[in-house]
Structure 1
Amino acid sequence: MDSTAVNTNVTIDDFDSVLAYDDQAVWVTPDPSSPTFNASASPWMRGTYHQTETKAASLSFNFTGPAIYIYGLLGPGQGSFEVDIDSVASTHSAYQTVNATSSSLLYFVSNLTFANHNLVLRNLGAVSSNGDKGGNAFLLDYISTTIQLAPAGATVQNKTYQEDDPAVTYTGTWGHNTSPAFSGGGTSYTNADQASASLSFYGSAVYVMGDKKDDHGIYSVQLDSNSPLFYDGVSGCGGAFGLTCEQQVPTLKFLASNLDSSQHTLKVTNFAGVNQSYFDLDSIVVAIPSVYAPRQLSNSSSPFVNGTTGSTTPSHTASVSSSSGGAAKSSAAAPAISNPLLLLVFTMLLAYRNFRR
C-alpha cells in the first residue's frame, strides 16, 4: 500500500449486499425491524451479525486493495474457520475460554498485492487440532479493508446524490419511501422488472447505498461498458417475503474504486422475477479527487506481496494451503452471483424505525 497516498478505510457490515452468502438459510441474524431491536445496546456494528453452526457454510466478498480485516466473536462456543484469498487458504480458530464482550479481530492481512481479490470465509466447526473444545459456531460482525482514492498530496471530496437528485434518471415504475433512518430522509423503490436508475459522474470511487429487506432480490449494476455485476439484495432473517428483517440504515449495494478521470456511467437494474422482488435506492456517493492516478493492478500469481502469506490474529492461526491463485484486472470487482469491491466507512448513527410501502 502507498502510505503517502490518500487512503480510506472501508467497513462492510454483515448485512451489506456486497457480501454473498452461499445459503442465507443456514445463518442466524437479528431482525433490525423488530420493535425490540436496539442497535445502541448491542456490541455488534449496527446491532447485527450473521452466525452459523453449519459446517461448510460460506460467504464471499470481492475487493481491490492490499488489506483485509475480519471481525466477529471469540468464545467457547466458536470453532474454526477457513480464509481463502484467491485460492490460497488458511485455517484459524475463533475459540477462547470466555466470550469476548465486543467484536474481536479474527483475521487480518496487510501485505496483499494491489489487485482484485476474492475472499471466501468458510465455517469448519470444531477442529480439535486447532484447540477447539466442541463448539461449531462462527459469527461474522463486519469486514474492513483499505482503498486508495488519490495520489499523495491530493484532496478528496465526497458528493452525495440523493435518490431524488435530478442527476439520477429512472426508467420503469418507482415509488418513494420516507424514514429518518434513510440518508436524506427518503428512498426510491421499485418492484418492476427491468426498472433502472442511472447516474453519470466524475470520481475515483462510487458507492451505491440502499434499504435491505427480505422481499428484495436480484439486481445488477453496470459501470461504463463493463459487464453487469449481479447481486442478491434479500436480507437474512424472517423468511422470504415475510415482510420482516428490514435494515433501513443504508447498506452498501455496490462499490467500485481505482477509477480514472473520464466520465463514468452507473446503471442499477432490478430483476423482479415472478416474485416481483424490490430494490430500494437511498443514495449514490462519489469520491472526487483533486488529482487522478489510478493504479496499475498487479498480475502476480500470488495474492501476497513477495509471495509471502498474510498475518493472522495472535494464537488463532492454524494451517495454510494454496492452489493456483490469480487476480482479475478490472476497476470494479465482481459480486454476489459475481460479488464487488470496497468503500468508505458509512457509520450512520440514524434512527431505526419500522415502515413499509
Structure 2
Amino acid sequence: MPSLTTTVKDTSPLLIYTGNWKPGNSVNDPLVNRYLESSFSFTQGIGESMTFQFYGSFVEVVGAKRRNHGDYTVKTDSQTLTGNGFSDSEIFNATLFSQTLDLGQHTLVATNVGDNGGQFFDIDYVTFRSDVGEADEPLIVNTFQDSHPSFNFSPPSSWGDQINVFPGTSGRATSDLSASAKFSFQGVSPTENVLADI
C-alpha cells in the first residue's frame, strides 16, 4: 500500500495553539531564515500547547534546539514522552518527537513544560504519513498552482499575485479578513469516496 507524507507548517489552521503563542519573525529573531519557509511559532508560557489531529501511521514534530529552549512533552493518544530543546549550539530542523503508530485517527499534544519561566518552545512544522489506496496501487501526487480552475478566490479584487515567493513562482495573498479561497476536488477518504470543497 503506498504511503503519503504530508508536511503541515506552523501557520496551518490544522495546528491548534492554546495560550500565548507568537509568530517568529526577523524583528524578534535574526535567525528566522533558518526555519522552513522562514516561519515558526513559539511560546514561553509553561503549560501552553499545540494540538494536531491526523489520520496516519507516523508523526514527527520539527522545531529548533537552542540555548533559550527548555523541556517539553508530547502526548499521542495515551502515551506521553518528555524532551529537551536546550542546545549550546543552535540546531534547526531538529526532530523534537517522532513516533510510528497503528494506522488510524490520532491526537498529538505538544506542551511547553520548561522548568524556568521564560524558556522557549517552538514549532517549525509537523509531518505525518498516511497509507492510501490499495496494496498494488502506485502513489500519484498532483500539485495544483493557484491559477488552476479548481481554485476560486473571493472576491477576486482582494487577492494579489505574489511572484517569486511560492513554489512555481506563483501564488496569491490577501489581507482582507472577509476574503476566502476554495479548492474543489474529488478524492478517496479511508472510508468513502468524497467530492469536497476546502
Give the match for residue 10 of structure 1: 6
**Alpha-carbon distance between aligned partners in 2 of 1:166 and 1:78, rounded to the nearest angstrom:** 45
The one-character-per-residue Cα deviations of 1:44-100 (angstroms, maximum 9, x if unpaired) are 21122222221111111111111111222224432111112224333222234x123
Alignment of 1:1-357 (within 5 A): 5-23=1-19, 25-30=20-25, 42-96=33-87, 98-110=88-100, 112-126=101-115, 136-168=119-151, 173-175=155-157, 176-180=159-163, 181-182=165-166, 185-187=170-172, 191-192=177-178, 197=182, 199-201=184-186, 203-204=187-188, 258=190, 260=192, 262=193, 264-268=194-198
**Alpha-carbon distance between aligned partners in 2 of 1:145 and 1:200, rounded to the nearest angstrom:** 21
When residues 200 and 75 of structure 1 are mapped into structure 2, their CA distance, relative to the original with a 3 A threshold, is closer
RCO higher in structure (CA 8 A, sep ≥6)? 1
The one-character-per-residue Cα deviations of 1:213-268 (angstroms, maximum 9, x if unpaired) are xxxxxxxxxxxxxxxxxxxxxxxxxxxxxxxxxxxxxxxxxxxx5364x3x33234
Structure 1: segments with no counterpart, 5+ residues: 128-133, 205-256, 269-357
The one-character-per-residue Cα deviations of 1:96-152 (angstroms, maximum 9, x if unpaired) are 4x1233322222111x1211111111100127xxxxxx8722122222221123333
When residues 137 and 87 of structure 1 are mapped into structure 2, their CA distance, relative to the original with a 3 A threshold, is same
Kept after mapping to 1: 8 A contact 2:162/2:173: no
**Alpha-carbon distance between aligned partners in 1 of 2:152 and 2:22, rounded to the nearest angstrom:** 36
When residues 57 and 164 of structure 1 are mapped into structure 2, their CA distance, relative to the original with a 3 A threshold, is same
When residues 153 and 93 of structure 1 are mapped into structure 2, their CA distance, relative to the original with a 3 A threshold, is same
Kept after mapping to 2: 8 A contact 1:79/1:137: yes
When residues 150 and 55 of structure 1 are mapped into structure 2, their CA distance, relative to the original with a 3 A threshold, is same
| Structure 1 letter corresponding to 2:8 | I
Q: TM-score, normalised on structure 2?
A: 0.77
Task: Give the strand-richer structure, 1 or 2.
Answer: 2
Kept after mapping to 2: 8 A contact 1:28/1:52: no
**Alpha-carbon distance between aligned partners in 2 of 1:78 and 1:48, rounded to the nearest angstrom:** 17
**Alpha-carbon distance between aligned partners in 1 of 2:23 and 2:150, rounded to the nearest angstrom:** 39
> Identity rate of aligned residues, in percent?
19
Q: CA deviation at 1:162?
A: 4.0
| Structure 1 letter corresponding to 2:55 | T
**Alpha-carbon distance between aligned partners in 1 of 2:137 and 2:56, rounded to the nearest angstrom:** 19
**Alpha-carbon distance between aligned partners in 2 of 1:188 and 1:106, rounded to the nearest angstrom:** 31
When residues 199 and 259 of structure 1 are mapped into structure 2, their CA distance, relative to the original with a 3 A threshold, is farther
Q: TM-score, normalised on structure 1?
A: 0.46
| Structure 2 letter corresponding to 1:143 | V
> Helix, strand or coil for the counterpart of 2:37?
helix
Structure 2: segments with no counterpart, 5+ residues: none
When residues 106 and 164 of structure 1 are mapped into structure 2, their CA distance, relative to the original with a 3 A threshold, is closer
